[in-house]
């Protein structure tokens, strides 16, 4: 085990101890300060980002769980080292999201967006949180913020907005966003989806027209 990792483990232990075991004396809570100056922020961030990419690429639930807990440790420390970096708290929100800790996920997403109110990644990640839980109105609100604050050319944000409109039965809006997404990822699957929705709209229009002729 590298010296850097040993130092990280020691600081993680101290951080958890401080949070969970504040010393109560005479009604006043005391905590032992943790020295983060020994941690190289850039090095730890690179390690955390590597874990994040490995998590995204992994399909093994056991490995994903291990990676999530490693990221939880790293991003918690990074958040203590630099309390003004919204990425660290957005990542913590994602980690807590995947661990099923909804309250902590929401808290960190909000903290990330509060640090920089026009930080699109925080809103995109928050949108994913709500989408995965079937709360599509809230998800759409977050995706729209991400879109407005700089993700108007971000494929997944645009695509997710289209998916929500499709779920709502607003095929016209869904097609609009799917076509925008197509600019950034010209896939046959997406073209077929657009064609299917256009056919549904056309058939529905013809049906209504026939009813009006009666």
pLDDT for residue 170? 96
- Dist. CA 144–CA 157, nearest whole Å: 8
129-132 CB contacts, 8 Å cutoff, 24+ apart: 129/93, 129/97, 129/102, 129/105, 131/160, 131/163, 131/164, 132/97
DSSP letter at 150 equals I
| In the chain, % of residues over pLDDT 70 | 79
Q: Measured on CA atoms in the order 133, 134, 139, 141, is the torsion positive or negative?
A: negative
pLDDT tens, position by position, 106-126: 999 999 999 999 999 999 999
For the chain, list residues with pLDDT below 50. Answer: 3, 6, 9-10, 13-14, 16-32, 207-212, 214
pLDDT in the model for residue 22: 42
Segment 160-165 long-range contacts (CB within 8 Å, at least 24 positions apart)? 160/127, 160/128, 160/131, 163/131, 164/131, 164/136, 164/139, 164/140, 165/140
- The confidence score (pLDDT) of residue 38 equals 81
Query: Which two tokens mark 167?
Result: 């779920």
């Amino acid at each position: 085990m590298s010296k850097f990792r040993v130092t990280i483990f020691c600081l993680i232990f101290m951080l958890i101890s401080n949070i969970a075991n504040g010393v109560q004396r005479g009604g006043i809570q005391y905590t032992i300060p943790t020295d983060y100056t020994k941690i190289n922020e850039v090095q730890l961030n690179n390690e955390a980002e590597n874990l994040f990419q490995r998590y995204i690429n992994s399909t093994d639930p056991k490995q994903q769980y291990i990676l999530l807990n490693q990221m939880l440790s790293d991003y918690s420390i990074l958040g203590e080292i630099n309390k003004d970096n919204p990425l660290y708290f957005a990542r913590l929100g994602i980690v807590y999201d995947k661990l099923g800790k909804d309250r902590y996920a929401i808290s960190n997403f909000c903290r990330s967006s509060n640090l920089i109110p026009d930080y699109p990644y925080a809103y995109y990640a928050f949108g994913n949180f709500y989408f995965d839980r079937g709360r599509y109105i809230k998800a759409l609100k977050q995706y729209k913020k991400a879109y407005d604050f700089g993700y108007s050319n971000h494929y997944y944000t645009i695509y997710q907005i289209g998916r929500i409109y499709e779920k709502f039965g607003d095929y016209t809006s869904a097609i609009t966003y799917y076509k925008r997404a197509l600019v950034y990822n010209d896939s046959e699957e997406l073209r077929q989806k657009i064609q299917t929705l256009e056919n549904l709209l056309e058939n529905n229009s013809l049906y209504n027209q026939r009813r009006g002729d009666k």
